[in-house]
Amino acid sequence: MKIALIGASGFVGTRIINLLKDEPDRYECKNIDLLPSHFFNDLTVIGDVREQEQMDRELAGADLVILLAAQHRDDVTPTSLYYETNVGGMEVTLRAMEKNGIRRIIFFSSVAVYGLNKKNPDENHPKDPFNHYGKSKWQAEQVLERWYESHPGWNIDIIRPTVIFGERNRGNVYNLLRQISSGRFLMVGSGENRKSMAYVGNVVAFIKYMIDNITEGYNVFNYIDKPDNNMNQLVSHVSKVLGKQIPATHFPLWMGMLGGYCFDLLAMLTGKKLTISSVRVKKFCATTEFDATKVHSCGFKAPYTLDEGLARTLEFEFVHPRPDEITFKSE
């Protein structure tokens, strides 16, 4: 099977290619990305998902498209880039697929389409995205919905992962684990808010499962590794894995938000992208639980538990010597 991955030079895409390359007799991968790949440059073509002629050319011969390309950071400017890439890129991809006779696509969306502080939403929950990333992902899904209405013979699979963590990732979960492991962790709020997470090794295993088994119709899956931890439990787990007592100092929410707004102002005045912002404080303090019944009852078996994924990440990042300094930035 020839698989065209769009935007696979990053964290998740690299792990997908790494998994599929172990079976070269079954999968032939090609990566189309604006950036070169740290590990699979021999499979990578520099390309832009917004460029129709280029996508028409690069998707030729593929049997399946996996679309990961996205603007995903909280601080993308101008905000029109979210929609040009995440929505416009979807439209370009579908037209290129049709031109090349490709009828299967796996699209990486996000639980951001549901919005903040929703009560354990499943795949049918009303959509209420609160930021441009979530809004653009939901608009891209709507493009797919309309496309399937006029192309009912296609196989369209959508995965809505929660926050993904793992080895080499430099996103919100890594920043959180680093702060906890340092022993200088400042907890905003009570710590009872629950956080859905997904270990990258499980996410890519599910992608492979979809490639092999979910080959018909229009399908949407939340992806979350269960059970969810609250913030206090996460601190306790990190302490256990690292074998040290880690205290957590609690601050009230209003104080945390005030600090976030101060960092927003500082970022605006300096023109720098900072690791703390009011949006990130708000996301940190929110309960982000999502229903994953569908994905865990479809026949897929995750290779790792959530605690095993956390332990593997902590040991790679903070216990064992690093093999190199290659990392991937995300949210």
Other Cβ atoms within 10 Å of 325 Cβ, number: 6
Beta bridge partners of 195: 229, 288
Q: Which two three-digit tokens encode residue 115?
A: 């919005």
- Omega of the bond leading into 121 within 30 degrees of 0 (cis): no
H/E stretch holding 86 reads helix 80-86
**Residue 73's closest CA among 16, 28, 11, 20?**
11
Other Cβ atoms within 10 Å of 327 Cβ, number: 16
Helices (DSSP H) in 29-120: which residue ranges?
52-58, 80-86, 88-99
The number of residues making up the chain comes to: 331
Fill in the DSSP letter of residue 127.
P
Of these residues, 82, 114, 133, 223, which one is catalytic? 133
Distance separating alpha carbons of residues 106 and 211, to the nearest angstrom: 8
User: What residue type is 258 in one-letter code?
Assistant: L
Distance separating alpha carbons of residues 272 and 277, to the nearest angstrom: 12
Is-catalytic flag, 83? no
User: Strand, helix or coil at 116?
Assistant: coil
Please answer whether residues 16 and 5 qualify as being in contact, where contact means their C-beta atoms are separated by less than 8 angstroms. yes
Fill in the DSSP letter of residue 126.
P
Query: Which residue is listed with tokens 């490639």?
Result: 211
Q: Which two three-digit tokens encode residue 76?
A: 């993308």
Other Cβ atoms within 10 Å of 116 Cβ, number: 16
Strands 44-46 and 28-33: parallel
Q: CA torsion sign, 262 to 268 to 269 to 270?
A: positive
Instruction: Indicate which residues carry an active-site annotation.
Output: 133
